[in-house]
Structure formats: structure tokens, C-alpha cells
């Protein structure tokens, strides 16, 4: 048998490596792809996962199947994706909690949000809302601050759970306005909104969603502020906290499509291109706004940028407030 010179073998390997990405770009996906939703069914992550999966199934010609794996503030499902083979067949629609803030809330994490993932696309941001029960004696954020100072600790403010962005935003409000509120954590948004309507709590600080949009529009609850840089398009009459003099009360949760570290670049590029196309479409934009999400999109690097820019603020607040989840 003729022996192949070492230099020729090296060149052959190099040539094969050079064409591998192009070949992969042409063949992927060759089978069904799962998108893990690490939060309970019916929430924003679940809804957006299904919207993205539906678009990708049609655009790429293979099934994109959503798999719910909730638990530990999104850590359970996100960890499944972190430990999956980096072949493009397991992705996760994760959020600012598992990918950024949870490392400050838990003593130990099963993954590193900045090292164990291939970032694909930042899909959208959902601002928080400060809302009040219809019978509460407040109409504006200034009213709330005045009442809370007159009755320190007597106002009950709900959130969808300890360590959620609703809870952290409530802590930020207390810090910025120098007021005392009694935090009432609920097990998810459904029980929180029911308590707000029933008058069991006076206030709610939570991520904006279709329920809040509908109830504020109907007058069933009072919209005091949205914690975004600009007013939310679906609630144009609700002022921002910044407009009301609280420049530091800016908070939102964001969600992104990511995969395991080492995901092939052609796969990342194809997914980024297709999801960007969906976000930019009138139908995609309308669907995202309908559930309370401001469309973002852009290159994968935006995920790293938002983590780097926001993490110091939330780390400092979590430490000051002594919020822990384990």
C-alpha cells in the first residue's frame, strides 16, 4: 500500500475542514430540531418559542418542536441545552434570568451563561409594569411614592415569585424612590393577577403581558408606569417611570435563542438570518408586540452586549437587597 506523505495528509484534512461548514450549511437541518422552553406553559418564553418554531419549520423545511422543561427559574431547561451535543438539533429559548441574573441569585449554577452557549439572536425585550388595583388611592407613580412614604410597609406589592424580574424591579423601585413596600411573592403570573383583581394586594410589579395590556385598556386596573425607555406601543397612555422623574427605574426581561457552546457557525448564521426575517416581518412584529415584547433582532453579539451592560446593575441590587433563591 502506498504511504501518503504527512504533508499531503495535513493538506487533505485542512481542505476537508474548509469545505465542511459550507456542506453543513447546505444539509442542516436534516431532521427535527427541538427548542426547549425553560419556563411554564403559557408564559412569554413558551409563546415565543412556539412562534419561532412555527416560522423555522416553514422556512427550513424540518419540524422545530418545542419541549417544555421548566424549573429553578429557567435553569433546568437551559442546562439541558448547555449539555446537549453542539450539532444544531437542541436549542433553547432562554432569558435574562438563566443567562445572566440567576448566577447572582443562586449559590451554585449548573452552567455558565457567558461560556457554555452559542448565542444566536436576541429576539425581544419585555419591560415591566407597575400597576395598581382599581380601588387603590393612586393614579400615578408620584401618588404611589407619596402614599408609601405616608404608610411605610403597609402597601402590599405582588410579584410572580421570589427572584423574578418583577421582584427585582420592585426592589429597584424601593431603592430609587426610598420607600418601603411589603413584597408578596406568588407562584406565577396567574395567581398574582387574580390577587390583584380581587384586591388582596394593592400593587403588582410584573413583566408586561397581554393580560395587563387588556386590563389597563379596560380600566379594570390602573397602569402607573412602564419601566422602558419609551412608552409601550400597545399602551400609549401609560407613561414611563423616566417621564415621571425616576430615571433609574428602567428594567426589562429579555429572551434569546441560544444553543450549546461550539454550535457550527453556519447553523448560527442560518438561524440568525431566519429569525431576523421573522422579527422584521409585519406579522412577526405584531405577534411580539401583542404579547408585550419589543422586537430586537440583530447579530448574535447583541446578547453578549446586553449581558455585559445590565449585569452590574442587577448584581449590585441583588446584593443590596439580599435576595437569594438557595
- Collapsing DSSP to helix, strand or coil, 161 comes out as coil
What is the Cα–Cα distance from 209 to 191, expressed in whole angstroms? Answer: 14
Asked if residue 29 has a cis previous peptide bond (ω within 30° of 0), the answer is yes
What is the Cα–Cα distance from 127 to 292, expressed in whole angstroms? Answer: 8
**DSSP of 203-252:** EEEEE--HHHHHHHHHTSEEEEEE-SSS--TT-TTSPBTTTTT-TT---E
Interior CA angle at 166 toward 276 and 67, to 5°?
50
Residue 190, C-beta contacts closer than 8 angstroms, at least 6 positions apart: none
Please tell me the predicted confidence (pLDDT) of residue 12: 45
Of 216, 191, 192, give the one whose Cα is nearest residue 202.
192
Please tell me the predicted confidence (pLDDT) of residue 245: 95
**Please, which residues bridge with residue 183 across strands?**
157
Which one-letter DSSP state was computed for residue 4?
P
Residue 220: phi and psi, rounded to 5, are -70, -30
What are the residue boundaries of the structural domains of the chain, listed by start? Answer: 31-126+253-321, 127-226
- Residue range 127-226 forms a domain whose CATH class is alpha beta
Instruction: Kindly give the pairing relationship between strand 252-260 and strand 90-95.
Output: antiparallel
Length of the chain: 326
pTM of the model: 0.88
Please tell me the predicted confidence (pLDDT) of residue 143: 96
Residue with cell 495535513: 10
Q: Could you report the average pLDDT of every consecutive run of 10 residues in the chain (326 residues)?
A: 48 46 73 95 87 97 96 95 98 96 95 97 96 95 96 95 94 96 91 93 94 94 96 94 95 97 97 98 95 95 96 95 89
Please tell me the predicted confidence (pLDDT) of residue 21: 52
Biggest alpha carbon–alpha carbon distance for the chain:
93
Topology, domain 31-126+253-321: D-Maltodextrin-Binding Protein; domain 2 (3.40.190)
Amino acid at each position: 500500500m502506498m504511504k501518503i506523505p504527512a504533508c499531503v495528509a495535513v493538506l487533505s484534512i485542512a481542505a476537508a475542514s474548509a469545505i465542511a461548514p459550507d456542506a453543513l450549511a447546505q444539509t442542516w437541518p436534516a431532521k427535527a430540531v427541538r427548542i426547549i422552553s425553560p419556563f411554564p406553559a403559557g408564559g412569554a418564553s413558551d409563546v415565543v418559542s412556539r412562534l419561532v418554531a412555527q416560522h423555522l419549520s416553514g422556512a427550513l423545511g424540518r419540524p422545530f418542536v418545542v419541549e417544555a422543561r421548566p424549573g429553578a427559574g429557567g435553569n433546568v431547561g437551559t442546562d439541558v441545552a448547555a449539555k446537549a451535543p453542539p450539532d444544531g438539533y437542541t436549542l433553547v429559548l432562554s432569558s435574562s434570568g438563566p443567562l445572566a441574573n440567576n448566577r447572582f441569585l443562586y449559590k451554585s449554577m449548573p452552567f455558565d451563561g457567558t461560556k457554555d452557549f452559542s448565542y444566536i439572536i436576541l429576539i425581544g425585550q419585555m419591560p415591566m409594569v407597575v400597576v395598581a388595583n382599581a380601588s387603590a388611592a393612586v393614579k400615578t407613580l408620584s401618588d404611589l411614592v407619596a402614599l408609601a412614604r405616608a404608610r411605610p410597609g403597609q402597601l402590599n406589592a405582588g410579584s410572580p415569585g421570589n427572584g423574578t424580574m418583577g421582584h427585582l424591579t420592585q426592589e429597584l423601585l424601593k431603592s430609587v424612590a426610598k420607600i418601603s413596600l411589603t413584597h408578596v411573592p406568588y407562584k406565577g403570573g396567574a395567581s398574582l393577577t387574580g390577587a390583584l383583581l380581587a384586591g388582596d394586594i394593592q400593587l403588582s410589579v410584573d413583566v408586561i403581558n397581554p393580560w395587563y395590556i387588556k386590563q389597563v385598556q379596560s380600566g379594570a386596573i390602573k397602569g402607573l408606569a412602564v419601566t422602558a425607555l419609551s412608552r409601550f406601543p400597545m399602551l400609549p397612555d401609560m407613561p414611563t417611570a423616566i417621564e415621571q422623574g425616576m430615571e433609574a427605574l428602567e428594567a426589562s426581561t429579555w429572551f434569546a435563542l441560544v444553543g450549546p457552546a461550539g454550535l457550527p457557525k453556519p447553523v448560527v448564521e442560518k438561524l440568525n438570518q431566519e429569525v431576523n426575517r421573522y422579527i422584521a416581518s409585519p406579522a412577526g412584529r405584531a405577534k411580539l408586540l401583542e404579547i408585550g415584547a419589543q422586537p430586537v433582532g440583530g447579530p448574535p453579539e447583541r446578547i453578549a452586549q446586553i449581558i455585559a451592560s445590565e449585569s452590574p446593575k442587577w448584581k449590585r441590587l441583588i446584593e443590596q437587597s439580599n435576595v437569594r433563591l438557595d
